[in-house]
Chains A and B, each alone.
Chain A
Amino acid sequence: MDASSTIREMCDEFGVTARTLRFYEAKELLSPIRHGQKRLFTKRDRARLKLISKGKRFGFSLEEIRQLLNLYDMGDQQQTQLLRTYELAKERLRQLELQQFEIGETIEELKEQLSLGRELIKQTNLSSEPAE
């Protein structure tokens, strides 16, 4: 008897909605045992869900995660899975570093506009000083 969990138990344990779990099932990331409308999630599903959350935090797409998870069963001591994870991490790092750079640039430009704006206000305040 594999300790299986209901959808409710899964939601509580992992802090996700039932909708999310059903979505992951539709995307073939999880494959709970179905008894009519009822779903029973296995140990395997739980392990996969943990990895899915991790992958999402890294910004991997669900499809990337799905492919990554399926590499587990390759029978090569997860060498292919590791390699693909390494490649994805490298790729994602490059994207995030670029994003980081762009945010930095936006911040600089925004600061510039801010000081221009403040300067402008100061000047108009001076020139509209009541001439008594």
Chain B
Amino acid sequence: MSEIKLSFKEMCAKFDVTPRTLRYYEYIELLSPERIGRSRFYGARDCARMTLILRGRKFGFQLEELRQWLLIYDKEGTNAQMHVFIDMADRKLIELFEQQKQLAETIKELEELRSVTKKSLKL
């Protein structure tokens, strides 16, 4: 029963995050390392959660959203968690498409501004 645990420093290095991030994630109960005195040790569970958290962040999910999503695994298992992920991801996709659309509009307006100013400057 001797799981290999990572130190605080090792954990930072493994996931390429700052100490501040790691402490913050613990503070908002995303991670729960074993505390021995002032040292922290991270097991497989924390590593797995960290992988999921960072992936979720990349997709633009909120930390609180991810925290609740991770809770589902503990309470209802993988399948339920996957179902919720699919819902979350579907909603996020719609959001991203909308962002894309708005960006495209702004880009078009900026292109116009660029060409108008260019013309006036006789560049």
A-B contacts, CB under 8 A, total? 81
Report B100-116 residues with CB < 8 Å from chain A CB: 100, 103-104, 106-107, 109-111, 113-114
Answer whether residue A20 sits at the interface, using C-beta atoms and an 8 A cutoff: no
Q: Is the CB of B109 within 8 A of A57?
A: yes
Once the chains are docked, how many angstroms separate the CA of A90 from the CA of B121?
14
Known A-B contacts A93-B111, A117-B86; the reply to A58 vs B106 at CB < 8 A is yes
Cβ–Cβ < 8 Å partners of B114 in chain A: 86, 89-90, 93
Cβ–Cβ < 8 Å partners of A92 in chain B: 110
Task: From B86, B89, B99, B111, give the contact of A103 (CB < 8 A).
Answer: B99
Task: From A59, A86, A93, A110, give the contact of B93 (CB < 8 A).
Answer: A110
Once the chains are docked, how many angstroms separate the CA of A83 from the CA of B9?
50
The main secondary structure of chain A at its interface with chain B is: helix
CB distance from B39 to the nearest CB of A (A): 35
User: Which of A6-14, A26-34, A36-44, A94-102 lies at the interface?
Assistant: A94-102
Cβ–Cβ < 8 Å partners of B86 in chain A: 114, 117-118, 121
Further pairs besides A97-B107, A118-B86: 5, Cβ < 8 Å? A82-B117, A86-B121, A89-B110, A107-B96, A111-B93
A-B contact pairs, 29 of them (CB 8 A): A58-B106, A59-B106, A83-B117, A85-B113, A86-B114, A86-B123, A89-B114, A90-B114, A99-B103, A100-B100, A100-B103, A100-B104, A103-B100, A103-B103, A104-B100, A106-B58, A106-B60, A107-B96, A107-B97, A109-B58, A110-B89, A110-B92, A111-B93, A113-B89, A114-B89, A114-B90, A117-B86, A124-B78, A124-B79
